[in-house]
């Protein structure tokens, strides 16, 4: 089930990750890293803020992590999601007219991919609760800190034994990701132990697919002896796993700074991010509300564990795939379109009379070019909506000057605003020196001016859902592969 992507995670430490059945984990993007996710992301794009404004998008790299960026009921949720929305509004306000349609797009990746992808131009910022470390400062730049009093604590259970001083950690095993600041902190602790002639802490390297909450679960269940987590992240998880304890007497890092990451030598973006970070620091009202909602109050976690998440998509997946193949669409794009239209609800009805998952008008379904009956049935509704998109594409956007990607995007825009209106906007775009064959950064500007923000936001939302679904499904495939490897080794773990 796709729900496993969000709430079922597999314990994999370094010996298991070396299993030949498990796919390698490249930290450096291949040439087609995002080619199957979204064509305009397939090539790296660098440059400073002016280049981002010119292309109409700032790309934020983040990770899937419960409470920070996760999917609930098909929709992105969490601190990072809300922070991204807030940053988009802030950037538009500060930058003014040139950035009035600037999109902020969150792109979830693995933890070990964050910095390599940023440096190589597959993202522009990192929003991932990054601690500023000497190692990281040699690779990327950081904004002004959003917090400068972060503590990193060892989290374990009573079986670990009492620890009130550093020397009592000698020889103990602690599991962390190699790319984390926690790893650096433990290495520093080991240097101190070594100077005192003590046995070093045994650092067990976790698979980079595992987030802090996953490691906490495995400590709680006894799979791992201990891990390390930022103190401010812990309250909700200590409620969830009451057998966990923190070694407050021996913090492994204190007064750490947390900040946003960006490429070095980007003075314009640096200025914007410094201003944003100082405006919305930890301790301010906006951040406090989010932290209380997701890091203190655990009601969201109960809902996330009990809601259908993406199970509905799993139930509809076969039909999306069948009709996407028949009409030459990307099935995840169709699913993203359907979520925007109806939240995957076949019972959805619009004031205009559109019905079902794809919000198809009965008159459209009955038209001889579509001719699909019984659109009250989910499969037929998906068939009718997909076929109608295909009709729009063939009739209005079958133009060699349009890439297959833009043919799909213009068809989706036309589904919302009408094909004749969209083609008139393309003609006007050409007259104004804009590219009539590209929606993003070109025709969308005229759409906003002529018909308002509805269609622009409609297409942008589908774009965002597509990225998160596509990346999430990719992560799920990797986790399933790891789970098979773990089952072969006799171990597995899951978040209940």
Residues 99-110 have a mean pLDDT of: 90
Measured distance CA(401)–CA(426) in Å, rounded: 12
Residues 187-204 have a mean pLDDT of: 96
Residue-number span of the structural domain to which 37 is assigned: 31-142
Instruction: List the structure tokens of 327.
Output: 């009409």
Instruction: List the structure tokens of 261.
Output: 């990451």
Half-sphere exposure of 320 (CA within 13 A, CB side): 19
C-beta separation of 224 from 218 below 8 A: yes
Evaluate whether residue 414 is within a structural domain: yes
Nearest to 114 by CA among 176, 159, 181: 181
Which pLDDT score is estimated for 483?
43
User: Domain end: 142, 170, 200, which one?
Assistant: 142
Instruction: List, as one string, the DSSP characters of 448-471.
Output: HHHH-HHHHHHHHHHHHHHHHHHH
19: confidence class by pLDDT, cuts 50, 70, 90: very low
Helix axis angle for 404-417 and 378-396, nearest 10°, is 110
310: confidence class by pLDDT, cuts 50, 70, 90: low
Instruction: List, as one string, the DSSP characters of 157-224.
Output: -GGG----SGGGGTT-EEEEETTSHHHHHHHHHHHHHHHTTPPPPEEEEEPTT--HHHHHHHHHTTSS
Does the pLDDT of residue 2 top 50, yes or no? no
pLDDT in tens, 261-290: 999 999 999 999 999 999 999 889 999 999
User: Domain end: 122, 142, 162, which one?
Assistant: 142
| Burial call 412-448: b when 16+ CB within 10 Å, e when fewer | bbbbbbebeebbebbebbeeeebebbbbbbbbbbbbb
pLDDT in tens, 353-383: 999 999 999 999 999 999 999 999 999 999 9
pLDDT in tens, 144-167: 999 999 999 999 999 999 999 999
Which pLDDT score is estimated for 10?
32
C-beta separation of 105 from 61 below 8 A: no
Nearest to 127 by CA among 138, 151, 116, 111: 111
Instruction: List the structure tokens of 290.
Output: 């989010």
Does the pLDDT of residue 7 top 60, yes or no? no
Half-sphere exposure of 178 (CA within 13 A, CB side): 11
C-beta separation of 307 from 359 below 8 A: no
30: confidence class by pLDDT, cuts 50, 70, 90: very low
Measured distance CA(52)–CA(40) in Å, rounded: 13
**Residue in 152, 341, 444, 475 annotated catalytic:** 341
Evaluate whether residue 241 is within a structural domain: no
481: confidence class by pLDDT, cuts 50, 70, 90: low
- Find the CATH number of the domain harbouring 463: 1.10.530.10
Does the pLDDT of residue 54 top 80, yes or no? yes
Does the pLDDT of residue 18 top 90, yes or no? no
181: confidence class by pLDDT, cuts 50, 70, 90: very high
Burial of 320 by CB count in 10 Å (0-12 exposed, 13-18 middle, 19+ buried)? buried
- Find the CATH number of the domain harbouring 50: 3.40.190.10
Instruction: List the structure tokens of 260.
Output: 């946003």
Measured distance CA(31)–CA(158) in Å, rounded: 48
- Report the largest interatomic distance among the alpha carbons of the chain, rounded to a whole angstrom: 84
Backbone angles phi, psi at 361, to 5 degrees: -75, 135
Evaluate whether residue 373 is within a structural domain: yes
C-beta separation of 114 from 478 below 8 A: no
Strand segments (E) across 201-329: 202-206, 226-230, 245-246, 253-262
Evaluate whether residue 202 is within a structural domain: no
Measured distance CA(495)–CA(213) in Å, rounded: 9
Evaluate whether residue 282 is within a structural domain: no
Instruction: List, as one string, the DSSP characters of 26-67.
Output: -SSPPTTTTTTT-GGGSS-----HHHHHHHTEEEEEE--BTT
Evaluate whether residue 148 is within a structural domain: no
Nearest to 230 by CA among 127, 146, 84, 129: 129
Does the pLDDT of residue 446 top 60, yes or no? yes
Does the pLDDT of residue 26 top 60, yes or no? no
Which pLDDT score is estimated for 415?
94
Evaluate whether residue 119 is within a structural domain: yes
The DSSP letter of residue 24 is: P
User: Domain end: 142, 177, 211, which one?
Assistant: 142
pLDDT in tens, 390-422: 999 999 999 999 988 889 999 999 999 999 999
Evaluate whether residue 52 is within a structural domain: yes
Which pLDDT score is estimated for 21?
34
341 is catalytic: yes
Does the pLDDT of residue 489 top 60, yes or no? no
% residues pLDDT > 90 (the chain): 68
What's the domain count of the chain? Answer: 2
Please state the pTM of the whole predicted model. Answer: 0.77
314: confidence class by pLDDT, cuts 50, 70, 90: confident
Which pLDDT score is estimated for 424?
94
């Amino acid at each position: 089930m796709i729900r496993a992507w969000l709430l079922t995670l597999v314990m994999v430490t370094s010996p298991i990750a070396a299993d030949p059945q498990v796919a390698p984990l490249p930290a450096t993007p291949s040439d087609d890293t995002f080619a199957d996710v979204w064509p305009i992301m397939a090539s790296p794009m660098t440059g400073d803020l002016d280049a981002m404004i010119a292309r109409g998008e700032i790309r934020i790299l983040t990770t899937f992590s419960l409470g920070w960026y996760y999917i609930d009921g098909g929709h992105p949720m969490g601190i990072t999601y809300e922070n991204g929305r807030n940053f988009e509004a802030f950037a538009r306000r500060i930058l003014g007219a040139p950035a009035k349609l600037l999109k902020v797009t969150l792109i979830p990746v693995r933890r070990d991919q964050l910095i390599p992808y940023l440096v190589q131009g597959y993202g522009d910022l990192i929003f991932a609760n990054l601690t500023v470390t000497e190692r990281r400062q040699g690779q990327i730049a950081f904004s002004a800190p959003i917090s400068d009093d972060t503590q990193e604590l060892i989290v374990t259970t009573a079986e670990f034994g009492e620890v009130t001083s550093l020397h009592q950690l000698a020889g103990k095993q602690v599991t962390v990701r190699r790319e984390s600041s926690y790893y650096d902190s433990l290495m520093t602790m080991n240097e101190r132990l070594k100077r005192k002639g003590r046995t070093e802490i045994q650092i067990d390297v976790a698979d980079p697919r595992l987030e802090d909450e996953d490691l906490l679960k495995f400590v709680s269940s006894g799979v791992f002896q201990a891990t390390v987590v930022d103190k401010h992240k812990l309250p909700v998880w200590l409620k969830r796993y009451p057998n966990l304890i923190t070694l407050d007497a021996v913090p492994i890092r204190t007064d750490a700074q947390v900040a946003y990451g960006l490429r070095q030598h980007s003075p314009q973006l640096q200025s914007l991010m410094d201003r944003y970070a100082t405006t919305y620091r930890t301790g301010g009202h906006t951040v406090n509300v989010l932290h209380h909602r997701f890091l203190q109050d655990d009601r969201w976690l109960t809902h996330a564990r009990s809601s259908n998440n993406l199970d509905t998509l799993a139930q509809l997946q076969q039909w999306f795939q069948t009709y996407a193949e028949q009409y030459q669409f990307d099935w995840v794009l169709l699913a993203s379109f359907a979520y925007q239209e109806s939240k995957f609800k076949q019972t959805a009805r619009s004031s205009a009379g559109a019905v079902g998952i794809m919000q198809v008008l009965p008159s459209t379904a009955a038209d001889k070019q579509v001719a699909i009956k019984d659109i009250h049935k989910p499969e037929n509704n998906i068939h009718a909506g997909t076929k109608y998109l295909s009709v729009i594409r063939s009739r209005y956007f079958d133009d060699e000057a349009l890439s297959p990607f833009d043919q799909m995007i213009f068809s989706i825009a036309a589904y919302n605003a009408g094909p004749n209106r969209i083609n008139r906007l393309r003609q006007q775009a050409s007259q104004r020196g804009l590219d009539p064959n590209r929606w993003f950064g070109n025709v969308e500007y005229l759409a906003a001016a002529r018909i308002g923000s509805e269609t622009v936001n409609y297409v942008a939302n589908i774009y965002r859902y597509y990225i998160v679904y596509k990346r999430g499904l990719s992560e799920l495939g990797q986790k399933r592969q790891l789970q098979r490897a773990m089952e072969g080794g006799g171990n597995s773990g899951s978040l209940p």
